[in-house]
């Protein structure tokens, strides 16, 4: 969600007071953590139980994947296509982990626990810090505050949705796509990204009436390799 900056040389660009790092991290954790409310409402509105909704936030803890999963299940997708879409959205976290392991230098014993917090926001905060110490503080504070708030607001959202009944009447079915749009916006900068997004929209909407629920999204994901391949051909062609 937030823009990523590259890590400056840890030895040079020195002192950033711990309090400032903590304040920045709490700002991100707080703002994004509160949107667990939208997830709780969306999930409960999609027909998942309170327990299922809370298990997703506790154990999956990567927002886009969670929204994608409940959206696909609500649309009548099979558990496998729904999980596949959520999984593909989570793949980017592997690449965050790759950068973070370089920056944080965690011990082997800590990594399985830190892994659950490897998401867009913790990565953005950690990589924006000038030193290893501040990166570790930023990662831990963002991770903890976001995890606690996200799960708390998920619970409240799910309880709220059950209490008010028809969530559509309150416009809450628009929360899911709005979250996706907010996640997508900072990622779409170059012509390649716009082309992939455009092709994915055409495939996703065009195939919706003809393929089983959940499958059109997976086919639309092919827009990524297709656009990369087309661009590769174009670049090679213009070099010759």
Partner 1 sequence: MSTWIAIGLTVVGCYAVKLVGLLVPEGALERPLVRRLAALLPVALLAALTAQQTFGDGQALVLDARAAGVAAAALALVLRAPFLLVVAAAVVVTAGVRAMGG
Site residues for partner 1, window 106-165 (CB under 8 A)?
106, 111-112, 114-116, 118-119
**Pick from 180, 102, 104: nearest CA to 142:** 104
8 Å CB contact between 25 and 142:
yes
* SS3 state at 210: coil
Residue (3 or 9) nearer to partner 1, CB = 3
Give residues 29-58 in contact with partner 1 (rule: CB under 8 A): 31-32, 34-35, 38, 48, 52, 55-56
State which residue, 14 or 198, has the beta carbon closest to partner 1: 198
Round the CA-based radius of gyration of the chain to a whole number and report it.
20
- Total of chain residues touching partner 1, rule CB under 8 A: 99
Show the binding pattern over residues 74-113: x = contacts partner 1 (CB under 8 A), - = does not: -xx-xxx-xx-xxxxxxxxxxxxxx-xxx---x----xx-
Q: Does 10 bind partner 1 (CB under 8 A)?
A: no
Q: Which is nearer to partner 1, 8 or 115 (CB)?
A: 115
Least gap, CB of 129 to partner 1 (angstroms): 18
| Binding of residue 230 to partner 1 (CB under 8 A) | no
Closest approach, Cβ 210 to partner 1, in A, equals 8
Considering the complex, state which of residue 14 and residue 174 has its C-beta at the smaller distance from partner 1: 174
Q: Which long-range contacts does 52-60 make (Cβ < 8 Å, 24+ apart)?
A: 53/154, 53/155, 53/158, 54/151, 54/154, 54/155, 54/158, 56/154, 57/150, 57/151, 57/154, 58/151, 60/86
Q: What is the largest CA-CA distance in the chain?
A: 65
Query: Which are the contacts of 219, defined by CB distance < 8 A and separation ≥ 6?
Result: 203, 204, 207, 211
Q: How far is the CB of 134 from partner 1 (least distance, A)?
A: 19
Told to check if 184 binds partner 1 by CB under 8 A, we report yes
């Amino acid at each position: 969600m937030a823009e990523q900056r590259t890590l400056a040389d840890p030895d040079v660009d020195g002192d950033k007071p711990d309090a400032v790092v903590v304040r920045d991290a709490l700002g991100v954790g707080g703002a994004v953590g509160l949107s667990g409310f939208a997830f709780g409402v969306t999930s409960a509105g999609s027909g998942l139980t309170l327990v299922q909704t809370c298990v997703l936030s506790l154990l999956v803890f990567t927002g886009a994947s969670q929204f994608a999963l409940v959206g696909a299940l609500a649309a009548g997708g099979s558990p496998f296509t729904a999980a596949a879409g959520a999984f593909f959205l989570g793949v980017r976290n592997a690449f965050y982990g790759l950068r973070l392991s370089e920056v944080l230098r965690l011990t082997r014993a800590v990594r399985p626990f830190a892994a659950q917090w490897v998401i867009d926001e913790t990565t953005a905060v950690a990589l924006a810090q000038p030193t290893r110490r501040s990166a570790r503080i930023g990662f831990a504070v963002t991770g903890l505050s976001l995890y606690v708030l996200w799960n708390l607001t998920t619970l409240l959202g799910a309880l709220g949705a059950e209490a008010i009944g028809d969530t559509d009447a309150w416009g809450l079915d628009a929360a899911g796509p709005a979250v996706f749009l907010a996640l997508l916006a900072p990622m779409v900068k170059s012509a390649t990204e716009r082309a992939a997004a455009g092709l994915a929209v055409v495939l996703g909407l065009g195939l919706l009436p003809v393929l089983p629920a959940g499958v059109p999204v997976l086919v639309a994901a092919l827009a990524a390799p297709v656009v990369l391949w087309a661009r590769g051909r174009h670049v090679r062609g213009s070099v010759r």
